[in-house]
Structure 1
Amino acid sequence: MKAVKNIITQDIYNLFTNPMWIFYNIVFSFLLTAALGYLTKGMYGGGVTSYDYYGIAMTVFAVMNTGTIAANSFMEERIKAGNMRILFSPVNNAWIWISKIIASFVFGLVCHLVTIGLLKISFHIYLGSGAWPWLVFLFISAELFAAVLGVFLCCLFKSEHTANQILSLVLQLMALAGGVFVSLERFGEVFRKLSFLSPMKWIIQSVFLLVYDQIPVYCIYAGIGLLILSGLGILGCFKTWKGGDCL
């Protein structure tokens, strides 16, 4: 168990000491939310500010992008030497990818909680009264799902580059369709209905229903659904992972 703990600790350390990933997950997310909130200031009503909308929408988008971090931390070229050492150690080589899921999950969760805190302090985004337990549950579920998805795609395609290309394309399409960057509801009923084809829209809508209408049931359903998908993704990793894939 000590060896497993050391593997996980090292993977977490690698993520938190990478300035580019810190910048992308905290600074870039914060600045992008601030810019979009400023550019659309005054375009929202009903007690919802532009910063409220983008604070939630961009956080959901950032959380789902944890998958790209997981893929990078799993099969990036400079990581492969460490994976090779684990492969020839007495530790079960499945811990190579399990550790990457855990490390990416922890890193993403900490970064996104920090970002939410900065947005709350800077722009006073509204996160509801007493909604925190369900919000945390939903974001934990989404963070875990994203990390599992990134690692699973690496196990499936045996390539970090291919996994990231597919994942980035899918996430961008879901973000555009789900109104992450521009809310499609302002373009009419047809676009509003089309936006619900995106899973990101489901999560964003669940958060808004919780925060503004005090309806937690959709957050619970979404969180449970994401946990089930995470479990299926982990099973997929066990089925598709071969030790030599990391060499």
Structure 2
Amino acid sequence: MVWGVFYRKQKAALARFHPLHQALVHEHRLSVTLPRDAWEPLIQSCAQHRAHIRRRKWALPDEVPLVLVPLVRVLSRDLRRTGTIGVTADLTGPEAAGKAGPQQSLQVRRPIRRVLQWYAFDPWLAVRAELRDGSTLDIAVVDRVRFRKITKTNPRGKIKTKTKSKTLRVITVTRRLPKGAVLTRPASPPPPWIRVRIKDGPRPVIRLRARIPNAPRSSGLPNHILHLSAEAFRWTAPQARRAS
């Protein structure tokens, strides 16, 4: 009886949250493009989640407070007056249906009886922002996860099975400059973990890519994205960066 009342109160609180906040809770997905001022009600709604919701079934995915909210806040500061931020997020995780490839058996030696290996491809975040200098910034995060299901016999003769995973994260940041913008090569090279590709032309494009091995799901990701974004801005003159 007590738990029923407790859950009803939480359910009522959940119903009062922003509709997109509710979609993140129930579906673990978000696909929306909003102007800067329209993002703030969603951010404020998400900020109240833990104060009202304790049930694990209705938990907000960790990526929302750790990645999405900080990223939207940072991008909002450089948004043009009529600019928008678009976010497509799939927070169902690499084990969700449709993300795993075929399984294959690996050769084993005793005491291991069997090893099954497969890979999951999880493009879980895409962000697009229209910046005040006339450029657009596109961010994409893809996790390539290797799974191994290992069956072995322990010293007591019991058969045990466990699954291990290893993640390779690929972050891509693309900055498309406004027409007529001039590229300027920075005085120092980029960090060794960042690859830079430049496409010159009427609208130059700066594309940066980083591969992060053994990456945790959320921790450290905003900093990695900010490092790549900062590198993209080193390739234009300071006056172009300040233009409105």
TM-score (norm 1): 0.26
Higher helix share: 1
Higher strand share: 2
Q: Which has the higher contact order (CA 8 A, sep 6+)?
A: 1
Q: Which is greater in Rg?
A: 2
TM-score (norm 2): 0.26
